[in-house]
């Protein structure tokens, strides 16, 4: 049975169904409904909820809960996610799973509260200090907002690295019919690193400080090997109209607008397709490499001044022209604008 | 032959890297002895700070995690809320606890988190080699207060225990020192009490320990002990600051 739900709330319920054991958050628009939803539902489910004193505290509470073996998460919007970067770097270094949701809004600085995709670089290139990556998932509908937390927790545990759901203020505020499908909440990965008291075993230590000669380089090589494995195994995307001449590339809310533009163009006889990354790290470069020789041009659409286009260009590697259209500062692209850009190609 | 000096089970065999005369090593041992005596080694999770005690996880023989600079109270909150029947404590310096981590400290205390905080007040940033700390005394010369701490420039030394005592969420707050055998014994008693408060689920406990840092104070060990007694104890009087278990 379909039910009308807001993106923020669907994400919260999805996380709860996925077995989220601890949620920590600090208010910020446009993700407040998520923290509010969790403040009620987590207590109903007898799980941990804390409204933290800051996003710094929230991510470090996630760190602690994850150390103790919880499926732990926090959510925020752009300015708050900047504050979480320290914790994310430590979690990556300590190889701790955990989920951070970024309901992106316009920046830089306090910016505004409109939906945006301006934190793409921060999300996929590292964000905090050190050589690391987050696994970054991008829902494109309220239904996916509900289903993606489970995938995020699973991948995060399987690879012992923090995951992010990168969404935006428009999707998060949007109400849409969705189905509360059954969610698999089984935990992935082994648990032989969790700190729960050393009863019947050797004490365990969780640390990212590695001062012994060569130890940190060895650790980094280990992390990079893990990231390579993720790149090989976890690229996810949706491809519509493989035979297209022009392939739109967009994720999240931009992909929704692209879909409308694509349908209108194709009604008039054009051959437009849509490649929608579901993971932006690992970036779906394999499919882009496959498509490149068959396609006349790519058109990347983003709610920023051009960030994901860099990854598209890296994957396509000059084989096919890559065009860009975007709006930043909280502006949203329209189907009409995209059609105009298509005509220019 | 009776063994008079034995190693607590809660300490590993790893040699400390602390300078001679440093208070950290003494307090590590006191924590280990208390954990042994309470029989809680197998259900304790410690949080090591960023500071000279960063390697505490190598010295304690139970589960220990690191935390980023100043965030141990938030990390402890995450662990304790998820595993309320485990014993969770943080071990933090004055820079960690009272400068960069003051917000996390106050809010964990104010929520009455059922955790224990061991707070090493050496009035200096030891690890980064001697900069001014929020607890540095007025007039104290450090590498970032070369003319002595001036209240006009840098404010006043913070009395953490007294500050936290104003919060209804705190249960047990004490200040001790490790400059003499008598004070070491008192410190151990206070640490034990703090853990007992947590075991009885009575809420937030903190033991502040005045600790000497001879190299960064530019003093010999005996001089540093004198400094603790004469100067530190004047600014930071010893004793139980708050004990809600008594009321
Ligand atoms: C975010 C961050 N800022 C600064 C540092 C550098 N740093 C390491 S230890 C320390 C101060 C330690 O002083 P304190 O907490 O008093 O501990 P002590 O060494 O005196 O025991 C600082 C500033 C850091 N590691 N991380
Ligand atoms: S620098 Fe000071 S606090 Fe650090 S180990 Fe040496 S004496 Fe101890
Ligand atoms: Mg210090």
**Do the Cβ atoms of A56 and A128 come closer than 8 Å?**
no
Strand A2-6 to B239-243 pairing: unpaired
Q: What pLDDT digit, counting tens, does each position of B68-113 carry?
A: 999 999 999 999 999 999 999 999 999 999 999 999 999 999 999 9
The rounded percent of chain A whose pLDDT value lies above 70 is 100
- The predicted structure's pLDDT at residue A330: 86
Residue A152: closest CA among A234, A42, A35, A249: A234
Instruction: Identify whether A101 is preceded by a cis peptide bond (ω within 30 of 0).
Output: no
B14 interfacial to chain A (CB closer than 8 Å): no
Quote the crossing angle between the two packed helices A142-159 and A215-233, to the nearest 10°.
140
Is residue A285 located within the same domain as residue A167?
Answer: no
In angstroms, the CA B46 to CA A198 distance is 11
What range does the domain containing A242 cover? 238-344
Ligand 2 mutation pick, B126, B136, B143, B179, max ligand atoms within 8 A of CB: B126
Residue B195 banded pLDDT, cuts 50, 70, 90: very high
Exposed, middle or buried: residue A276 (CB in 10 Å: 0-12, 13-18, 19+)?
buried
* Per-residue CA distances from A186 to A17, A151, A155, A237 (Å): 10, 11, 12, 24
Task: Indicate whether B1 pLDDT > 70.
Answer: no
Token digits of residue A298: 């790519």
pLDDT at position B74 is 98
| Per-position b or e across A120-132, b if 16+ CB within 10 A of its CB | bebbbebbbeeeb
Residues A150, A42 share a domain: yes
Whether A248 contacts A338, CB under 8 Å: yes
With the most atoms of ligand 2 within 8 angstroms of its CB, the residue from B121, B127, B227 to mutate is B127
Shared-domain flag, residues A169 and A263:
no
DSSP of B178-189, one letter per residue?
A: -SSHHHHHHHHH
- Please report how many Cα atoms fall inside a 13 Å half-sphere around the Cα of residue B183, on the Cβ side: 21
Q: Are residues A47 and A155 in the same domain?
A: yes
Q: How many domains does chain A have?
A: 2
Same domain assignment for residues A264 and A126 = no
Residue A193's alpha-carbon distances to A66, A196, B65, B246, in angstroms, are 10, 9, 11, 40
The terminus-to-terminus CA distance of chain B in angstroms comes to 46
Contact A197 B61 (CB under 8 A): no
Q: How far apart are CA A41 and CA A31, in angstroms?
A: 16
Q: What are phi and psi of A99, to 5 degrees?
A: -125, 130
Mean pLDDT confidence for B130-151: 98
A265, A267, A268, A269: CA torsion to nearest 10: 90
Q: What is the pLDDT of residue A126?
A: 83
CB atoms within 10 A of CB A337: 17
Mark whether A250 and A329 lie in a shared domain: yes
Chain A residue numbers touching B64 (CB-CB < 8 A): 195, 203, 205-206
- The answer to whether position A69 is within a domain reads yes
**Is residue A285 domain-resident?**
yes
User: A23-45: per-residue pLDDT in tens?
Assistant: 999 999 999 999 999 999 999 99
| Residue B13: CB atoms within 10 Å | 7
CATH number (domain holding residue A332)? 3.40.50.920
Q: Do B74 and A22 touch (CB under 8 A)?
A: no
Distance A62 CA to ligand 3 centre (A): 26
How confident is the prediction for chain B on average, in pLDDT? 96
Whole-angstrom distance, CA of residue A211 vs CA of residue A218:
11
Question: pLDDT by residue (tens digit) across A166-182?
Answer: 999 999 999 999 999 99
Listed residues: CB within 5 A of ion ligand 3:
B 93-94, 122, 126
Radius of gyration of chain A (CA): 20
Residue in B85, B98, B92 with CA at minimum distance from that of residue B118: B92
Q: How do beta strands B239-243 and B124-125 pair?
A: unpaired
CA dihedral A267, A273, A276, A281 (to 10 degrees): -160
Q: Which CATH number does the domain housing residue A81 bear?
A: 3.40.50.970
Boundary of a domain, candidates A130, A153, A179: A179
Give A57-73 pLDDT, tens digit per residue: 999 999 999 999 999 99
CA-angle at A95, arms to A89 and A97, nearest 5° = 90
pLDDT tens digits, one per residue of B209-224: 999 999 999 999 999 9
Same domain, A175 and A259: no
| A113 in Cβ contact with A29 (< 8 Å) | yes
Phi and psi at residue A135, in whole multiples of 5°?
-85, 125
Q: Which residues 6+ apart lie within 8 Å of B87 measured at CB?
A: B35, B40, B43, B44, B45, B116, B195, B198, B199
Q: Which sign does the torsion angle of CA A207, B55, A194, A216 carry? A: positive
Statement: B24-246 belongs to CATH 3.50.50.60: no
Residue B5 has a pLDDT of: 67
Could B57 and A207 be called an inter-chain contact, meaning their C-beta atoms sit closer than 8 Å? yes
Give domain limits for chain B.
Answer: 24-246
Residue entry with tokens 């060895």: A218
Nearest residue (CA) to ligand 2, atom 2:
B213
Query: What is the value of pTM for the model shown?
Result: 0.97
Q: Quick one: pLDDT at residue A159? A: 98
Q: Is any Cβ of chain A less than 8 angstroms from the Cβ of B65?
A: yes
List the structure tokens of A79.
């300015």
Q: Is A202 exposed, middle or buried (0-12, 13-18, 19+ CB in 10 A)?
A: exposed
The closest CB to that of B68, out of A21, A86, A203, belongs to: A86
Asked if A31 and A174 sit in the same domain, the reply is yes
pLDDT tens-digit series, residues B29-79: 999 999 999 999 999 999 999 999 999 999 999 999 999 999 999 999 999
Q: Please tell me the predicted confidence (pLDDT) of residue B4.
A: 55
For residue B3, the model assigns a pLDDT of 57
Helices (H), chain B: 23-38, 56-59, 72-82, 94-95, 102-110, 151-154, 160-165, 181-199, 214-217, 221-227, 233-235
Q: Average pLDDT, whole number, for chain A?
A: 97
Residues of chain A with pLDDT under 50: none
Q: Which residues of A touch B74 (CB under 8 A)?
A: 52, 56-58, 60-61, 63-64
Task: Evaluate whether A187 touches A176 at the Cβ level (below 8 Å).
Answer: no
- Radius of gyration, alpha carbons of chain B: 17
| Same-domain check for residues A257 and A162 | no
pLDDT over 90 at B6, yes or no: no
């Amino acid at each position: 049975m379909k039910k009308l739900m807001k993106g923020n709330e669907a994400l919260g319920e999805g996380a709860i169904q996925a077995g989220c054991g601890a949620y920590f958050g600090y208010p910020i628009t446009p993700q407040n409904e998520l923290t509010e939803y969790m403040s009620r539902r987590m207590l109903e489910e007898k799980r941990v909820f804390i409204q933290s004193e800051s996003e710094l505290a929230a991510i470090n509470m996630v760190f602690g809960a994850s150390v103790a073996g919880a499926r732990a998460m926090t959510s925020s919007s752009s300015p708050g996610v900047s504050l979480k970067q320290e914790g994310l770097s430590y979690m990556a270094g300590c190889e701790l799973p955990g989920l951070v949701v970024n309901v992106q809004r316009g920046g830089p600085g306090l910016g505004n509260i409109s939906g945006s995709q301006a934190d793409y670089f921060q999300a996929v290139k590292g964000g905090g200090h050190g050589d690391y990556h987050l696994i970054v998932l991008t829902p494109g509908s309220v239904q996916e907002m509900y289903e993606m937390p489970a995938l995020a927790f699973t991948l995060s545990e399987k690879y012992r690295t923090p995951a992010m759901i990168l969404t935006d203020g428009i999707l998060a505020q949007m109400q849409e019919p969705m189905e509360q499908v059954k969610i698999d909440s089984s935990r992935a990965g082994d648990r032989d690193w969790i700190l729960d008291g050393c009863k019947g075993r050797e004490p365990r230590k969780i640390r990212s400080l590695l001062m012994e000669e060569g130890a940190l380089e060895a650790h980094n090589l280990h992390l990079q090997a893990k990231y390579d494995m993720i790149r090989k195994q976890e690229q996810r995307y949706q491809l519509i109209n493989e035979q297209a001449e022009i392939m739109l590339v967009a994720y999240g809310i931009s992909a929704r607008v692209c879909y409308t533009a694509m349908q209108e163009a194709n009604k008039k006889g054009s051959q437009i397709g849509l490649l929608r990354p579901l993971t932006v790290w690992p970036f779906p470069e394999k499919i882009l490499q496959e498509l490149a020789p068959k396609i006349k041009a790519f058109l990347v659409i983003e709610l920023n001044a051009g960030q994901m286009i860099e990854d598209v260009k890296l994957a396509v590697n000059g084989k096919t022209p890559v065009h860009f259209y975007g709006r930043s500062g909280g502006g949203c692209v329209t189907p009409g604008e995209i059609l105009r850009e298509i005509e220019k190609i | 032959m009776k063994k008079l000096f034995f190693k607590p089970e809660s300490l590993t065999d790893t040699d400390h890297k602390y300078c001679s005369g440093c208070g950290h090593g003494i307090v590590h041992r006191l924590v280990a002895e208390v954990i042994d005596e309470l029989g809680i080694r197998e259900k304790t999770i410690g949080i090591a700070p960023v500071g000279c005690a960063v390697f505490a996880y190598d010295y304690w023989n139970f589960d220990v995690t690191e935390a980023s600079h100043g965030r141990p109270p938030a990390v402890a909150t995450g662990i304790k809320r998820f595993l309320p029947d485990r014993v969770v404590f943080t071990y933090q310096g004055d820079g960690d606890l009272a400068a960069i981590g003051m917000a996390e400290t106050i809010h964990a205390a104010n929520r009455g988190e059922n955790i224990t905080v061991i707070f090493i007040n050496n009035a200096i940033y030891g690890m980064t080699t001697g900069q001014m700390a929020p607890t540095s005394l007025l007039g104290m010369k450090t590498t970032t207060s070369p003319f002595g701490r001036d209240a006009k420039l840098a404010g006043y030394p913070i009395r953490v225990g007294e500050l936290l005592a104003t919060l209804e969420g705190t249960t047990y707050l004490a200040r001790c020192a490790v400059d003499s055998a008598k004070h070491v014994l008192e410190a151990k008693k206070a640490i034990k009490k703090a853990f007992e408060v947590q075991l009885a689920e009575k809420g937030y406990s903190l033991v502040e320990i005045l600790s000497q840092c001879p190299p960064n104070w530019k003093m010999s060990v005996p001089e540093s002990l004198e400094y603790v007694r004469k100067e530190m104890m004047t600014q930071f009087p010893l004793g139980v600051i708050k004990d809600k278990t008594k009321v």
